[in-house]
Amino acid sequence: MKKHRKIIVSIAISTDGFIARPDGDVVWLDRPRPKGHYGMGEFFKTIDTILWGRKTYDKGIKMGMKAAGFDPEIKNYVFSRQPQESLEPGFEWISEPVKTFAQRLRAQPGKDIWMMGGGGIIASFLDEGEIDEFIIRVIPILIGEGIPLVQPRQRSIPLELLSSKAFPDGVVQLNYRVKDRS
């Protein structure tokens, strides 16, 4: 039987539910990490594709993150409603509908797919039923305002807790499966 490629949001949030400050700043994430960096090394072994929203891509490039920072075999796709622009090598521009792209990508052989973020692209995939899991690392800090994990709109999407893990530095990792909504 063919393995279903999962689209997994793996992301850090503040305790009050934000992935970044209103201007996209994530300096509050710069903190000592425990050995094993919350299992990210193991997670990287399970993926071969990363999905980026354009604002997350722009912020990542400014911070010095490039495709070369990941395994060179990883495919990187940047989503935007804006006209195509020049991207760093190793990134591909996507403007087709989320559902069409996700179904085409899932049909290709490969490992799981990491939804990097941000809140807008996560919402678009979630609303189309194209997110399978969330791995959320809750950072013990309140930042007061910012970009929410999922762009706000009216929705009710049930989740099933698969696991939780507390780390010595106060970070709590929650792994949820998106329940079937049919």
The runs of H, that is alpha helices, within 1-159 are 40-44, 54-62, 98-107, 119-127
Domains of the chain: 14-19+39-48+119-182 (3.40.430.10), 53-110 (no CATH)
Please state whether the peptide bond connecting residue 24 to the residue before it is cis, i.e. omega within 30 degrees of 0: no
Per-block mean pLDDT, blocks of 10 residues, the chain (182 long):
83 96 90 86 92 85 62 85 75 90 95 93 94 97 96 90 96 95 64
Task: Quote the longest CA-to-CA distance of the chain.
Answer: 47
Task: Indicate the SS3 state at residue 72.
Answer: coil
Which pLDDT belongs to residue 65? Answer: 66
Tell me, what DSSP letter sits at residue 71? Answer: -
**Of 98, 60, 53, 103, which Cα lies nearest the Cα of 77?**
53
